[in-house]
Chains A and B, each alone.
Chain A
Amino acid sequence: MIAITVTVDADHLDDIEAVGAALRLRGMRVDQVLHTIGIISGAVGEDEHALLESVPGVQSVETENVVQIPPPDANPQ
């Protein structure tokens, strides 16, 4: 499974739960649905990744990034 971030388009913000349900049907594990900003986070198998982009209401599917800031005493921060 790959962790992903799905951005929901402006026309489907009110129906974001339905978009989430459609994503589940295509094999996505939905971990969180952020209604205000229109983002769905979760994970998907490598083979299903491309399938998700054709779900109505999906603006983009991106691989999740991880941020790493330096340890406390490092310079610069």
Chain B
Amino acid sequence: MISHGNSYGDNDGDNTLAAPSEPEVTGSHVVVFTEGGNRTDAAQTLRDVAGLSDVARSTEFESSALDLAETQAADAVVFDELGIAVVTADPDQLAALRAAEAGDGPVLSIEPELMHYALSIGTDPRVQAEVASFTDTADLTWGLHATNVSASACGGFGVKVAVLDTGFDLAHPDFENRAITAQSFVPGAAAQDGHGHGTHCVGTACGPKSPSGTRRYGVAHKADIFVGKVLSDQGRGADRGILAGIEWAIVNGCQVISMSLGANVEAVSVAYETVGSRALASGSLIVAAAGNNANRAAGNMGFVGPPANSPSIMAVAAIDSTLGLANFSARSNPVIGGQIDVAGPGVGVFSTVPVPTRYGTKSGTSMAAPHVAGIAALWCEATGRTGTDLWAVLTQQARRLLLPSLDVGSGLIQAPA
């Protein structure tokens, strides 16, 4: 690994570290050509635009392995495959290149060439400074703050989010005037939530932007809500109901499917993995709670069970308001797909419960998963991405944490701007 300018830390173990310093420049410049500019011969462009005549090209060397010792005297070295050149230009030539950068011409950018150094071990204080403690305020839950949902311009407009759980309190006043499609897959039961778990998860994933009389707790406030009751009011459900709920959600075009449920089994289920993969191919991303079978304080790390241990289903761990790992949050297990993919807020999560109580605070990876599902809906709206492409943007944009990837995967899920 290399870094710009000064290295992070000085390897003496005291964890002190210099602040970002002035970059150390070489005096040369890195020119990036536009795609058109590169196709039309970058070396010719440098001659025409800036009069740089002595140009070495990577294609002149065997296997394009450019020998820098041979090119020291050159005005410019062109890397044809990359569409990039490093140029040593006088001020007039530089000005001519900058003029070419300004228009729609062949030059995309010009930056000073920097010196790089090997990274040494140390702690970046910027990371430590950011590890703050979040708290619920009068306006906002800590989880929406920590994931930047509160600052996002998106609400999941035009996105369908399915929550497969114990159902939903369809009489909850916070969801008046929302588009809700509800279906029960529990024999003899309606979609109404007689447990509370499902109502809490729907609240986190899709609750309103400005609930009257309490703080904001929901992510995708403009999403269309699909409630699939796959667990009974006693919190119990067989695979057939869960699979029927997934089928229903895909057929209805739900881009995001949230499942805060799992079994205490290590092995991957062929059924869930196949279904997760077919769902992604259909443009539906399935997000699942990693599980709460750890007791880390007692040395038990737990493991991710099905369905979250399927490679094609996103497994969500739980972190607390200090961005520390929840004691109960399950760790990756060695089976293929048994890894944690991302983390979400899952300790002391304030959201909806059935009336008349209306609101309650719960903890669990069950609470982390709907944060990720709601945020997936925001990214779906922001980028138009679905399926595997949506998965990629979620992990790319997650905030890296000072915790093992075994426990938090790519880190804390983050909302789009």
> Residues of A at under 8 Å CB distance from B?
3, 5, 7, 31-32, 34-39, 41, 59-60, 62, 64-72, 75-77
Instruction: Give B245 Cβ to nearest chain A Cβ, in Å.
Output: 10
Say yes or no: B242 contacts A76, CB within 8 Å. no
Chain B: CB-nearest residue to A71: B235
Q: Which residues of B contact A5 (CB under 8 A)?
A: 239-240, 243, 269, 271
Say yes or no: A37 contacts B250, CB within 8 Å. yes
B 240-265 contacts with A by CB, 8 A: 240, 242-244, 246-247, 250-251, 260-263, 265
Say yes or no: B247 contacts A39, CB within 8 Å. yes
Instruction: Give A28 Cβ to nearest chain B Cβ, in Å.
Output: 13
Could you say which of B275, B306, B346 contacts A39, with CB atoms under 8 Å apart?
B275
Could you say which of B166, B237, B246, B260 contacts A66, with CB atoms under 8 Å apart?
B237
In the assembly, what is the distance between CA of A62 and CA of B250, in Å? 22
- B98 within 8 A of partner (CB): no
In the assembly, what is the distance between CA of A39 and CA of B236, in Å? 21
Say yes or no: A77 contacts B367, CB within 8 Å. yes
Say yes or no: B250 contacts A59, CB within 8 Å. no
- B196 within 8 A of partner (CB): yes
- If A37-B246, A67-B242, A67-B261 touch, whether A76 touches B235 (CB-CB below 8 Å) is no
Chain A: CB-nearest residue to B246: A37
Say yes or no: A77 contacts B271, CB within 8 Å. no
- B326 within 8 A of partner (CB): yes
Q: Which residues of B contact A39 (CB under 8 A)?
A: 243, 247, 271, 274-275
- B202 within 8 A of partner (CB): no
- If A37-B247, A76-B365 touch, whether A32 touches B240 (CB-CB below 8 Å) is yes
In the assembly, what is the distance between CA of A73 and CA of B282, in Å? 37
In the assembly, what is the distance between CA of A66 and CA of B236, in Å? 7
- If A39-B275, A69-B261 touch, whether A64 touches B239 (CB-CB below 8 Å) is yes
Say yes or no: A65 contacts B274, CB within 8 Å. no
Say yes or no: A75 contacts B363, CB within 8 Å. yes
Say yes or no: B269 contacts A72, CB within 8 Å. no
- B238 within 8 A of partner (CB): yes
Chain A to chain B contacts (Cβ below 8 Å), 18 pairs: A3-B238, A5-B240, A5-B243, A34-B243, A34-B244, A35-B247, A37-B275, A65-B306, A66-B239, A67-B239, A67-B261, A68-B235, A70-B235, A72-B197, A75-B364, A76-B362, A77-B362, A77-B363
In the assembly, what is the distance between CA of A54 and CA of B195, in Å? 41
Chain B: CB-nearest residue to A42: B240
In the assembly, what is the distance between CA of A9 and CA of B52, in Å? 61
Chain A: CB-nearest residue to B198: A69
Could you say which of B231, B243, B244, B306 contacts A69, with CB atoms under 8 Å apart?
B231
Given contacts A5-B271, A36-B282, A77-B200, 17 further A-B contacts (CB under 8 A): A34-B244, A38-B275, A38-B278, A39-B275, A41-B240, A65-B269, A66-B263, A67-B237, A67-B239, A67-B262, A68-B236, A72-B196, A75-B363, A76-B292, A76-B326, A76-B362, A77-B197
Instruction: Give B165 Cβ to nearest chain A Cβ, in Å.
Output: 8
- B132 within 8 A of partner (CB): no
